[in-house]
């Protein structure tokens, strides 16, 4: 089982962790196997292993027989964890090498009329005192072919959630774009962050004060306080943040934070016994709400609304609530996604239907543009960190991103480097419109490229776009189009502008040696201010000079440079027709 976790830490910094080639997979396919598997996972982590995996919603009855659910999906595990030696900081393959994904139109499992009838049934049950709130969900389904990893990366860019995950095994894959933390433990401290209350970005101005949404959130906060009290030291349960509104590209959500100190010897099994499934996706009271869910929903939820996460050696754990989560059914080429909303007495079916539409926006949306820095990390030390920081801060101010300080940038780098003190990595740091960092790393070979690499001259001038040229962002479609248009493989493509002036490569800057001088085009020609280029200019090793295609013929040597690869000698080739 291969797993990617893009989870945020308490500081808000998101760090990618990749788990590949497990030493062992622990799977529960029956309720009787659920608790023993969790005990095995916990024991392995106490002896130095990392564990990552998921618990399906239908595993709930293993912890309390009052938790009624549908029968599990055919061949879908109730619990599945891999045991690993250590996580990697990034997926080894470049995203461009991952096959494309293709899906058909989404089909809903319920019509709006059937959904309205279900909402009315729940409101009547609430009026009769059956429950205070119940979470009603439905399914979307689509045909699908290609790479679930490529689709995950596309959706992750759109949703920009703090607890995203991709899990792949023989026959299936999970793609979770969840913004909701189920629980996180550090020593004897536990933190939960239930999420209830939703608004579209257009209507978010009223979310914080909306009585219905606040009532939904506070009900679930009370439920989580009671659940935590079962495993917490007396008097330690506390609500540290109530009804905070969090903004995401396609939706705004209301979140609260509940913390506690755990009783001695509280293990993973005990935490799941007390908390699972999370009250935010059931309702309150939990068991009564689950009885109604089983009655009105037309099938099992699977990993959706269960838990996905990881456990460190020693037992510290972090799990999400897998909302905004898709399942790729590989044998049948199907993609399924669950979505729902909390129903209270004040709920109106048209508004709940609209909320579901809001929550599914991420499935068809477009990725927002983030600021990007690509850095080299060697043995825990960063290459040119101050130059990267200066460039990023300039782009933050120029493009109107949330304010950022050099101290916060440095803290993000330090936290990542502390986790990967050995080896060499190419690290992608993204800074988004919500003011969040996301870091992921890719292992680098220490072998320096001494043999000149083949590069081609672009067949057409590169269009001038100030944002593309002067600021490094995740919007690279122009560069990618030029590179992919080459008929055969090359190391990179040399660009030139409409005035016939050389500018840069698609992934680095140009250095041309002529008559003993090392020359590089000035920024006015239309190119990115690469950090290594700027450092070398500051040191007097490079001179800025307008270069043309005629200079290529007269050049003594050519180099491709950037802060990750350093100096790479290149030779200009003519593409074969």
Catalytic residues: 180, 196
**CA distances (Å), 403 to each of 9, 126, 388, 397, 400, in order?**
20, 46, 16, 7, 8
**CA geometry: angle 322, 2, 326, nearest 5 deg:** 30
Nearest to 529 by CA among 343, 373, 399, 296: 373
**CA geometry: angle 318, 324, 329, nearest 5 deg:** 100
Which residues partner with 27 through β-bridges? Answer: 80
Nearest to 92 by CA among 18, 14, 175: 18
Contact between residue 344 and residue 124 where contact means Cβ atoms under 8 Å apart = no
Alpha-carbon radius of gyration of the chain: 26
User: What residue has token string 């009783």?
Assistant: 263
Nearest to 324 by CA among 175, 210, 212: 175
Indicate left, alpha or beta for 189 from its phi (over 0: left) and psi (-120 to 50: alpha): beta
What's CA 104's distance to the chain center, in Å?
23
What DSSP string runs through 33-69?
Answer: HHHHHHHHHHHHHHTT-EEEEEE-GGGGGGT-TT---
- Residues 195 and 205: their CA atoms lie apart, in Å, by 18
Contact between residue 421 and residue 22 where contact means Cβ atoms under 8 Å apart = no
SS3 state of residue 331: helix
**Helix (H) or strand (E) run with residue 349 in it:** helix 349-359
DSSP letter, residue 164: E
* Structure tokens, 355: 């909320």
Contact between residue 9 and residue 15 where contact means Cβ atoms under 8 Å apart = yes
SS3 state of residue 220: helix
């Amino acid at each position: 089982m291969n797993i990617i976790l893009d989870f945020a830490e308490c500081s808000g910094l998101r760090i990618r962790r990749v788990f590949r080639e497990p030493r062992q997979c622990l799977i529960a396919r029956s309720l009787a196997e659920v608790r023993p598997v969790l005990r095995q996972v916990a024991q392995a982590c106490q002896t130095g292993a990392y564990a990552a995996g998921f618990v399906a919603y239908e595993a709930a009855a293993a912890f309390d027989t009052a938790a009624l659910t549908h029968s599990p999906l055919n061949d879908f595990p109730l619990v599945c964890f891999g045991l690993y030696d250590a996580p990697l900081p990034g997926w080894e393959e470049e995203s461009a090498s991952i096959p494309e994904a293709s899906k058909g139109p989404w089909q809903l499992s319920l019509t709006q009329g059937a959904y309205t009838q279900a909402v009315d049934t729940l409101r009547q049950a609430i009026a009769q005192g059956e429950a205070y709130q119940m979470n009603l969900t439905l399914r979307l389904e689509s045909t699908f072919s290609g790479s679930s990893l490529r689709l995950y990366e596309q959706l992750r860019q759109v949703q920009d959630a703090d607890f995203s995950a991709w899990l792949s095994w023989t026959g299936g894959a999970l793609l979770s774009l969840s913004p909701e933390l189920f629980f996180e433990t550090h020593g004897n401290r536990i933190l939960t962050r239930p999420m209830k209350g939703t608004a579209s970005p257009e209507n978010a101005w009223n979310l914080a004060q909306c009585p219905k949404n606040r009532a939904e959130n506070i009900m679930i906060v009370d439920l989580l306080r009671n659940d935590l009290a079962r495993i917490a030291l007396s008097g330690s349960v506390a609500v540290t943040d109530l009804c905070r509104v969090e903004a995401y590209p396609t939706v705004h959500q209301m979140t609260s934070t509940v913390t506690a100190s755990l009783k001695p010897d509280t293990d993973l099994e005990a935490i799941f016994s007390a908390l699972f499934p999370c009250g935010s996706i059931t309702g309150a009271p939990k068991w009564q709400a689950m009885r109604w869910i089983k009655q009105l929903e037309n099938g099992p939820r699977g990993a959706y609304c269960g838990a996905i996460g990881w456990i460190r050696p020693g037992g510290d754990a972090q799990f999400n609530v897998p909302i905004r989560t898709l399942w790729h059914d590989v044998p049948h080429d199907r993609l399924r996604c669950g979505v729902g909303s909390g129903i209270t007495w004040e709920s109106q079916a048209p508004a709940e239907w609209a909320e579901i539409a809001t929550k599914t926006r991420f499935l068809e949306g477009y990725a927002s543009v983030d600021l990007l820095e690509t850095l080299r990390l060697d043995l825990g030390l960063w290459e040119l960190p101050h130059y990267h920081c200066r460039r990023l801060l300039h782009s933050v101010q120029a493009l109107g991103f949330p304010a950022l300080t050099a101290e916060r940038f440095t803290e993000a780098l330090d936290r990542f480097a502390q986790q990967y003190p050995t080896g060499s990595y190419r690290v992608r740091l993204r800074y988004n419109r919500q003011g969040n960092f996301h870091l992921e790393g890719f292992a680098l070979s220490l072998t320096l490229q001494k043999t000149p690499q083949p590069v081609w001259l672009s067949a057409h001038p590169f269009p001038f776009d100030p944002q593309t040229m002067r600021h490094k962002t995740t919007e690279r479609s122009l560069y990618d189009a030029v590179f992919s248009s080459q008929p055969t493989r090359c190391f990179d493509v040399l660009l030139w502008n409409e005035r016939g002036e050389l500018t840069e490569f698609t992934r680095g800057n140009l250095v041309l040696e002529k008559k003993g001088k090392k020359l590089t085009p000035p920024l006015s020609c239309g190119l990115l201010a690469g950090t290594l280029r700027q450092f070398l200019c500051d040191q007097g090793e490079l001179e800025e000079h307008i270069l043309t295609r005629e200079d290529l013929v007269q050049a003594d040597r050519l180099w491709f440079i950037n802060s990750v690869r350093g100096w790479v000698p290149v030779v200009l080739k003519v593409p074969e027709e």
